[in-house]
Amino acid sequence: MLSVLLVGCLVASALGKPLVSKRWKDFEVKHAWHDVPAGWQFHDIAPEDHILNLRIALKQDRFDDLVTALYEVSDPAHEKYGQHLSKEEVEALVAPHPSSVDLIDAWLSDHGVDPFSVQRLNGGSWLNLEVTVGQASQMLNCSYNIYQHTGTSEYIIRTTSYSLPSLLHPHINMVAPTTYFSSMRSMRATSFVQPHIKPIEDDHDFAASLVGAGSLATVPSSCATTITPSCLRALYNTSTYVPKATATNKLGIAGYLGEFANNADLQVMLVLDSRGRKTHVFGNLQTFFEKFRTDAVGTTFQTVEVNGGGDDQSDPGVEANLDIQYAEGMSFPTPNIYYSTGGSPPFIPDDNTPTNTNEPYLNWLDFILNQTVVPQTFTTSYGDDEQTVPVDYATTVCGLFAQLGARGSSIMFSSGDDGVGAGDCLTNDGTNRTQFQPNFPASCPFVTTVGATTRVNPEVGIDFSGGGFSNYFGQPSYQATAVSTFLGRLHGVNTSLFNSAGRAYPDVSAQGQGFQVVFNGSTISVGGTSASSPTFAGVISLLNDFRISQGRRPLGFLNPILYTAGVAGFNDITSGSNPGCNTNGFSAGPGWDPVTGLGTPDFGKLQALIG
C-alpha cells in the first residue's frame, strides 16, 4: 500500500473542486522517479490545504536564437563579440509564444486560478502562482507527500511523479516544486574543514615580498601545504595588478544553505591616534585581512538578501566565509556582493503556516535576471549529483545560466569533491548499473566549471577534483577538439562508465587544499573545489577590470574564448587523478583533461591574450 501511495497518481475528488474540461484530463507523465530519491523517506501525506508557491517554466519561443546570440557575443572571432544583450533583449528572446500563454491561461482558469493573479517573470516565460496542494495535485495528476531527509531531519513536500495534459507538453518545460528533492541542506557545499593541516598565524613576510610578476619560482614551499591570498597571487601572477574600474566592475558570490558571510571575520574596525595613525585593530580576534591581506584592512562587502536569505552575523558559515574571503582576497579592491539566498525552509508537520518549499537556485536566478545591471563575474560553490536532478529541471536551470551569460556575466561553478563519483555510483533508473556520476550545475555547458589542484613547483591535480562527462548535456563545439584529443589517448579505459559524447568538465582549475580561513576569529584550514571557484573567479574579475578600464566590454561567457585564444594563458597540469566509483577515475595529462581542465590561470598571459 505504501509503495502505491509513493509512486501512484492522485485521483482527486471532484467535490469542492472546479469542473475541469476533458481536454485537461488526458495526462502524460512529465517526470517520474523509479524510487524515492536516496536519502529521503516518506513521512506523511501532504495536507491538501497547504500552500505551494508553484513555478511553471513555459517553452521559450526563441531560445535557440538566444543560444546563437550567446555564442556570437562570446566568440572572439565573431563580429558581435562583446556586444552583450540587455535584460530587455534577452527577455524578448525567451518570451513564450502567445498561443502558449493563451492555452496555459485557459488551463489555469479551469483549475480555479485567476490568470491575472499570476506573477510573470523573465519575459513571461516563468509563472509564479500560489495554489493549494489539492489544486496542484489535480493540475499535475500526482500525489504530494511530506518526505524527511535521513541526514538532516528536514521535511519537504514533493511528489515522485507528475504529469501534464498532453496538450500542454509542447508548451511547458518544467513545474516546481515537484520531483526535485534536493533541498539546499542536503545539497553539498563543495568544501570541507581539514583539521590535519595546521593553520598559520599570518603570511606578512611573504606578502611583503610580492614584488614583480609572480611566477612558480617565487612561490615558497609553504604554499604546498597552506594557501593564502599571497600564495595564489604569486601562483597565478596577479600580484602587481591594481584594479582601476572599481566603480563599474563587481564580483558576485551566490550563497545558500542558510550560511552567512561574517563581517566580524572579514572586516576590521580601526582606531586612529591623534595623527591619524592606526593604533589598534578590533574584530573577532584576528581578522582575515589583518592576517593575510593587510592592504585590504577596513574593506567590507555588500550583502543582498534574496527571498528571505537572511544575514545572521552571529551564525557564520565556513563555506560562506571561504567564498567571500578568497573572492575579496583575490580581487581587492573590486566590490564584492554576497547573495544570501533563502527559499527552502523546512516544512514543519502540523504547522498550518504557508511555507515556500521551492528550490533556491530558482529564487536566485529569478532575482538576478530581474536586475537591470548584474555583476560581471559570479562564483557558486554548490552542486548535486546530476542523476538526482530531474532532467527537465536541469535543462531549464542551465538555460537560465545561458541568459546570464548572454548579458555579459562570467559564471563559475565548483566541479565537486567526489572525483568521478562517491560510493558505489549505482544509477537510480532501476537498472542499478555502475556509472561515473557527473555533478550539476557543473555539467551545464553555459557555465565555467573549476576543478582543484594542490602543491607547487609544479601543481598537480588533487584526488577529489570533480570531473567527467554529462549524461544530460551534449558536448559543446567549443571543447570538441580538446576533449577528442584526451579521449584519443585514453585507449578505452573505463569508457563503458561514462558518456564520451557528453559535456566534459572541469574547464579550468585552481588550488583547492589548505586554504587559511578565518572562522569565528580563529584560522582553520579548508579544502575543496569551493576554494577553487572563488579563486578562479577572482582572476577573471581582474581580467574584466582590465578590459573595462580600457573601454572594452567584459568577457561574459568564458568557455568559447578559453578553449581557443585563452589556452596559452594556462599552466598545463599534467599529473594527478580523481578516483571514485571503485576505479582510478581519470588522469591529468597534456592539454585538457577531466581532472584539471585546461589548467590553472596565468593572469599576465591571459591579460595579453584575451584582456
The SS3 of residue 418 is: coil
Question: How far apart are the C-alpha atoms of 319 and 321, rounded to whole Å?
Answer: 6
Question: How far apart are the C-alpha atoms of 286 and 100, rounded to whole Å?
Answer: 58
Q: Point out the least confidently predicted range of 94-103, 236-245, 280-289.
A: 280-289
Q: Which residues pair with 255 in a beta bridge?
A: 340
Nearest CA to 409 out of 226, 556, 579 is that of: 556
The SS3 of residue 419 is: coil
- pLDDT for 175-228, tens place per residue? 999 999 875 544 455 678 899 999 999 988 888 777 544 455 578 899 999 999
Question: How far apart are the C-alpha atoms of 581 and 492, rounded to whole Å?
Answer: 17
Q: Which residues pair with 213 in a beta bridge?
A: none
The torsion angle over the Cα atoms of residues 597, 399, 92 and 58, rounded to 10 degrees, is: 180
- pLDDT for 104-136, tens place per residue? 999 999 999 999 999 999 999 999 999 999 999
DSSP 152: T
DSSP string for residues in 313-353: TTSB-HHHHHHHHHHHHHHTTS-EEEEEE---PPP-TT--S
- pLDDT, averaged across the chain: 87
Element (H, E) at 235: helix 229-235
Nearest CA to 406 out of 190, 207, 556, 600 is that of: 556
Per-residue pLDDT band for 140 (boundaries 50, 70, 90) equals very high
Question: In the prediction, which pLDDT does 9 show?
Answer: 41
Per-residue pLDDT band for 584 (boundaries 50, 70, 90) equals very high
Evaluate if residue 311 carries a pLDDT over 50. no
Nearest CA to 439 out of 422, 462, 458, 460 is that of: 422
Query: What number of helices (H) and strands (E) belong to the chain?
Result: 16, 29
Amino acid at 226: T
Which residue segments constitute the domains of the chain, with CATH numbers given?
2-52+129-181 (no CATH), 189-241+249-272+286-300+317-330+359-610 (3.40.50.200)
Question: In the prediction, which pLDDT does 257 show?
Answer: 53
End-to-end alpha-carbon separation of the chain, Å? 63
- pLDDT for 432-482, tens place per residue? 999 999 999 999 999 999 999 999 999 999 999 999 999 999 999 999 999
The SS3 of residue 145 is: strand
Known catalytic residues are 319, 323, 530
What's the Cα-to-Cα distance from 302 to each of 286, 334, 337, 341, rounded to whole Å?
A: 21, 12, 5, 14
Phi–psi pair at 136, nearest 5 degrees: -60, -40
CB 334 within 8 A of CB 243: yes
Evaluate if residue 142 carries a pLDDT over 70. yes
DSSP string for residues in 373-397: S--SEEEE-EEEEGGGS-HHHHHHH
Residue 230 Cα to chain centre, angstroms: 26
Nearest CA to 281 out of 267, 295, 292 is that of: 267
Question: In the prediction, which pLDDT does 444 show?
Answer: 98
- Angle of CA points 365, 366, 369, to nearest 5°: 75
The SS3 of residue 287 is: coil
CB 165 within 8 A of CB 107: yes
DSSP string for residues in 23-60: GG--EEEEEE-SSSPTTEEEEEEPPTT-EEEEEEEEPP
- C-alpha cell of residue 38: 536516496
Question: In the prediction, which pLDDT does 2 show?
Answer: 38
